[in-house]
Amino acid sequence: MTQVVLSHVIRAAQVDPPAPQGVGAFPDDVRPVEQALANQGFLDPHFIDGAFGTLTLNAYRRLQESFGFGGKDADGVPGSTSLRRLGAESGLFDVLVDDAPPSAPGGVGIPMSEVIYDRVVDGSTSAAIHTACDLMGLPVDNWLPGYMTIAVRESSYFFNAVNTDDSNAHGPLQSDGCPLYCSRGVVQCIPPTFARYHQPGTDNRIYDGVANIAASMNYVMDTYGVSRDGHDLTSRVQQADETRPPHGY
C-alpha cells in the first residue's frame, strides 16, 4: 500500500469555493482515496483526477454514511477513523499524520522516533497472542483463532518477517537494513501503525511478537470497529477469517 497524509487530504477537501491550498494541491494523496471510493462504487472512475472537488466530497459523504456516521460526522470531509478504514478495506493506502501519528484512543501510542528495528529471538505466536490479550484485558478465546489466521497468512508465524517487495518498501534504511515503511513482524505492521497503536507495557521493537500483535489488535478495534471482546473479529476483518480468502487488513 501507499501512504496518504491525513492533513493533506483534509486540506484538499475544500470546495465551493476552493481554498488556495486546497483542491488539486495534493494529488498524490487524493488519487488513492478517489480510487478507493471508485472501487467501492461511490465515485465514477472517470472523475479520479487528484482534486477533492464536489463530486469527491459527495462520494466521501456517502461512504461516511455507509459507515454509520451522520450529521456533521458525514459532511464529506475525511476524518481519521473513516479514512483509515477506507484505506484498510481497499488495500490501497495507509494513513500518515504528517509522519508523526498522534496517540490512538485510550492513551496508547509512541512517537515513530521511538520505534526500534532490531531483530528479536523468534517465539511462539500462540503464546504472544495470549500475553497480548492478558496485557490488554481481552478474552483470549475470542481473539486467538483469528490472530493465528492473520499471523500464518501475513508471516507464516515468523516474528522477524519483513516485506521488502510491496509499495510500503520505501524510505531510509533502518537498523535491520530495510526501508523505513516496510511491513514488519508476525502480523506485518508498518511503523506508523505500530507507533500509533503501540500498547503501553510492550516492547518498542516492532519485531517483538507481543508488541506487534498488541498494536495490531488496537488497530483493528479502532479501524474496523472490532469489539473488545473479539466476538466480531472474523466478521469485520476478512484476513482473520479462515473460511474466506486472504485479504489485506
Pick the CATH number of 112-240 from 1.10.3470, 1.10.1670, 1.20.120, 1.10.530: 1.10.530
- What is the DSSP code string of 158-204? -TT-EE-SSTT--SSB-TTSSBTT-EETTTTB-HHHHHHTPPTTS-S
* pLDDT tens per residue, range 72-124: 778 888 888 899 899 989 989 988 865 444 445 566 788 888 999 999 999 99
Total-model pTM: 0.65
Crossing angle of helices 54-66 and 80-90, in 10° steps, is 90
* pLDDT tens per residue, range 197-210: 899 999 999 999 99
Residue 57 bridge partners (DSSP): none
Each residue of 78-100: b (16+ CB within 10 Å) or e? bbbbbbbbbbbbbebbbbbeeee
pLDDT by residue, tens only, the chain of 249 residues: 688 888 788 777 755 434 444 344 578 889 999 999 999 999 999 999 888 888 898 899 999 999 988 877 788 888 888 998 999 899 899 888 654 444 455 667 888 889 999 999 999 999 999 999 999 999 999 999 999 999 999 999 999 999 998 777 888 899 999 998 899 999 999 888 898 889 999 999 999 999 999 999 998 998 888 999 999 999 999 999 999 999 888
* Domain boundaries of the chain, sorted by first residue: 2-96, 112-240
